Structure formats: C-alpha cells, structure tokens
Structure 1
Amino acid sequence: MDWQKIEQLIDKYFEGTTSLEEEMVLKNYFSQENVADELKQFQPLFSYLQLAKEETAPNKTVLKSKKPFKKWISIAAVFILIASLTTIWNLKATDSQDLGTFDDPEIAYAETLKALELLASNVNYGMESVNYINEYEYSKNLIFKN
C-alpha cells in the first residue's frame, strides 16, 4: 500500500475523523513486517493497540458483601430502641412519685441549703477546669506568638 495514503490516514486518525474501516487498514498495515521507513515511528502505537485489545484480566476479583456493616447497624438500632424505652419508662416512674415536698419550712430551708452548697461546689470545680483551659491558652499564645 502507498505510504502517502497511510500517512493521510494517520493524520485523520489523530484528528479523530477516521472510520472503522480506515482504522483497520492502519492496524493491518502496521502489523506487517515491511513498513515504510518514514512511518516506522507509528508502528509501536498500532501494535500496542492490537496487544491491548487481546489482553485479558488474569483472574476475577470477588467482592465481599457488606453484611457485617448491616449487622452493626441493626445492633445499634436495637440499642437505641432499648435506651429510648428505658428513658421513657423512667420518666413515667418519676412523674408518679412525690419529689420532695416538705411540710416543715425549717427542713425545707436546710435541704435547699444543702442543694445550693452541692451546686456551688460543682460550679467551683467547673471553674477550676476553666482556669486550666485559660492557662493553656495563655501558654499556647506565648509559644506560638499569636
């Protein structure tokens, strides 16, 4: 076959305008031993395309199902359901109980003081934690010079 015609087909191939028959002509031409010296540079391209077409995967890959993931979602759903039912049951149980009414004002005052002291000690403990955080922020700013 005339090498100039093959050269025109190569130009069309790189422009993306060749037909399937023209591409077959190119593949057949470059699969031969006697290729024009001017066109030998394109021979590896078309021989590679032929080899890639014939190549197959060595073996099939088997994908595992995601059943363990579904199992964990089911377990989490059951746990949330049980926790919700327990919370609702406890709320209903506390609604029916008497939650600390006092007939004697002195006892009510003493109990209120105990509750406020407990609250104050917990607030003070929380404030100590905030002081640690402030100290950390101050030290960090000194080191990184923000």
Structure 2
Amino acid sequence: MVLNSIEKLLEKYENGETSLKEEQQLKNYFSQEAVPPHLEMYKPMFAYFLVNQQEQFTKALPLKPKKVYNLKWIAVAAVAVFMLGVYFKEPIKKSYQEYAYGTYDDPEEALEEVTKQLAIISNHFNKGVSTVGYLNEIENTTSIVFKNN
C-alpha cells in the first residue's frame, strides 16, 4: 500500500504536480535504508535534496558603502566657478564696449577695411576654385565616353 502511494507520488513529482508536503514525504521515504530496487535510482536525488536543504551560507559578505559626495568639495568648486566668472566678466565687458558693432566714424576708413576684407575673401575663394578645376576635365571625358556608347 505504501509502495503504491510512493509510486503515485513519484509520477506526480515527475509531472510537477506535487505539493511541498508530498515532496517532503518522498524525501523522508527515500532517506530510509530499505528502498525497493526499482526505485533505487531516486534515492541519491532525494538524499541530495535533504542535504542541500540543511546547508547554510556562513561566509561574511563584504558590502561596499555607497559613494557619498563630500559637500565641502562641491561648495569649494561652486565658489571657484563663481570667482572665475566674476574675474573674467570685467575684461570681456570692456572689450565689448570698445569694439561695439565694429562701426567706423570715418567712411573712407570703413571703405578701405571692407575692400581689404573682400580681397582676402576673394583670394581664398579663387584658391578653392582652382583646386576644383579638374572636375571640368572629368565631366568632358565622361560626356565623350557616354556619347560614344
């Protein structure tokens, strides 16, 4: 009678339908010395479960504390940024007022400056155009090749 109930419990165990109480009955049954030969293969598995259930982790875990930002250093950095802002604010303000909008009082001086700047721009533009001159040669060659095809 007991053997039939154990075999039924084993079948339920293999199907994953047993409760914790029924699994405990199986563990207790297979912890005995006398187990029928056809159920002998289950004995090491349930013995392992019993031993594993009694294991405990006793090693100490080193827990690292969370990084704490030192508020003193944050305050020092904020003061340093503030002082740099105050220091560099004054020279920039003077230079801005000195060259406000880049205007000239004398029209001839303004014309001379514009002419000089346009000559520089023209020089740079001509250098760029001269380096792209080979594209015309490529265009002529491709038009000849595709015209013949």
> TM-score, normalising length from structure 1?
0.56
Take 1:16 and 1:3, find their aligned partners in 2: how far apart are those partners? 20
1:28 is aligned to 2:28: yes
Counterpart residue number, 2:6: 6
- Which structure is richer in relative contact order (CA contacts within 8 A, separation 6 or more)? 1
Q: What are the ranges of 5 or more consecutive residues in structure 2 without an aligned counterpart?
A: 132-149
Identity of matched residues, %:
37
Counterpart residue number, 1:67: 67
User: Which entry has the higher C-alpha Rg, 1 or 2?
Assistant: 2
Q: How many residues are aligned here?
A: 116
When the two chains are superposed, the root-mean-square deviation of aligned CA atoms in Å is 4.0
Take 2:47 and 2:8, find their aligned partners in 1: how far apart are those partners? 19
Query: C-alpha displacement at 1:27, in angstroms?
Result: 0.5
Take 1:114 and 1:64, find their aligned partners in 2: how far apart are those partners? 67
Cα deviation digits, residues 87-132 of structure 1 (max 9, x gap) = 9947x826961423211223223434555638x76xx89xx9xxxx
Counterpart residue number, 2:113: 111
Which amino acid is 1:109 matched to? L
Take 1:108 and 1:45, find their aligned partners in 2: how far apart are those partners? 98
Which amino acid is 1:107 matched to? E
Q: What are the ranges of 5 or more consecutive residues in structure 1 without an aligned counterpart?
A: 129-146
Cα deviation digits, residues 28-66 of structure 1 (max 9, x gap) = 111112111111111122112112212222412222133
Counterpart residue number, 2:42: 42
